[in-house]
Chain A
């Protein structure tokens, strides 16, 4: 339908079909020349969007909250995009991308661009396609990009690091409010939200989180805990102003070098993983090693050491 240059021009003009197609190119093959040419072409126009990460355990109401927040964010002609990441089945690799339904009305009314990405179980690949997607939306002139992930596991945490303001959403009655924030999310959250404020235990949950925060060392930014009810609108203005404050704080403290380093790390890591995976798949010796371990002739640790040996030979040989 269109060549790479037309696609790049379309993105820069904010054409949604081009944006959508370009994201597909990134999703289809992360490392194809075409994907890299698109990213190269749009790069000068990136770096302006504010990326808000929304994460939290399943069922706390992240999608509903985004749907309720969008009208508050999409004011003064601000263009908003939503990127939602859903887990795919490890068995069939298929997925049901359901986040849209809970915000559809809001999306339509405010002309929001929304794209769902499914996680293919490969953390590096996911972060890379999320990064590429954000860059495309950024270059297309979206002022705010909301990135939603299910806050479980390292892959999702890595994706969250692409956001400049990270909002962790919890709800009362899950029984794991505190466990959830201990599992590594604590350190990255800029704002905590307790959704479903109308439910029993909400205020206790807020207090519990504040207690945990009080014992942690915090920098200049004091992490707020905000109670909201996405369904009846309580607290949403407070959340919006906290996000705004954090965006200002970020703008003052932005360290270009460190975010560039983070980005480079992410890209290099995912390329290494891809190269290693290919090398392992292609290497004929690996099949023999798997046979040996299956038959009990070797233990898995010996086996993996042999695979590592084969890999380093390949890498050395390629030079």
Chain B
């Protein structure tokens, strides 16, 4: 499925959070796993994240926040994407997310929600799984 066009993933921190070291580690790991990786840069708004994801037609948006704003900021991204009528770009999350918040994010379709210490292979597998679902939806539209 990804032979001609690999998994395309957008990494973004959609809020006031400058801790981007983790993003760089993920960017490298995703690239080495054969993906096309985009990073939204520091301090993008949810609208910018969604515009980028749409223009670039990514398979997965990988969001990360360490500032506790995940319930509002991740939701904003998910809402904006839905408002555009897009259901074939998956959203995964990560950062410092309390266990009690995870089901709330899952309900929005934001899966993963990994915390510090998660092995890279687990994250890569999850992104690949969600990307496969997205790509199936995209290809099914032909």
Contact = CB atoms under 8 A, between A and B. Distances in A.
B101 interface: no
Contacts of A113: 55
B27 interface: yes
**What band does the interface of chain B fall in when counting residues whose beta carbon is under 8 Å from A?**
35 or more
B40 A94 contact: no
B29 to A, nearest CB: 10
B4 A1 contact: no
Nearest to B45: A108
Interface in B27-61: 27-28, 30-41, 44, 48, 51-52, 54-57
Given A95-B31, A115-B56, A116-B38, A29 B4 contact: yes
A306 interface: no
Nearest to A24: B57
Given A20-B57, A23-B57, A108-B48, A100 B5 contact: no
Contacts of B30: 94
A21 B89 CA distance: 12
A4 interface: yes
Interface in B88-109: 88
Given A1-B138, A3-B142, A104-B41, A94 B35 contact: yes
Nearest to A32: B142
Given A24-B5, A108-B51, A17 B31 contact: no
B87 to A, nearest CB: 8
A97 interface: yes
B115 interface: no
B32 A92 contact: yes
A179 interface: no
A4 B52 CA distance: 23
A95 B6 CA distance: 10
Contact of A2 (B33, B38, B84, B141): B141
A27 B141 contact: no
Nearest to A27: B5
B19 interface: no
A8 interface: no
A118 interface: yes
A96 B8 CA distance: 10
Given A17-B84, A29-B4, A114-B55, A97 B41 contact: no
B57 A96 contact: no
A88 B5 CA distance: 12
A90 to B, nearest CB: 12
Interface string A106-117: 001000011110
Interface string A26-37: 011110001000
A104 B142 contact: no
A59 interface: no
Contacts of A97: 36-38, 56
Contact of B88 (A1, A100, A120): A1
Contact of A17 (B32, B44, B86, B142): B86
Given A1-B137, A104-B40, 18 more contacts: A2-B141, A3-B142, A16-B54, A16-B55, A20-B57, A24-B5, A24-B57, A27-B5, A92-B32, A92-B34, A94-B32, A96-B31, A96-B37, A100-B52, A101-B39, A104-B41, A108-B48, A118-B36
8 contacts: A2-B141, A3-B142, A17-B85, A94-B36, A96-B31, A98-B39, A104-B40, A114-B56
Interface of B: 4-6, 27-28, 30-41, 44, 48, 51-52, 54-57, 84-88, 137-139, 141-142
The list of the 10 closest CB pairs from A to B, nearest first, reads A94-B31, A101-B41, A1-B141, A20-B57, A24-B57, A94-B34, A92-B34, A28-B5, A96-B37, A97-B38
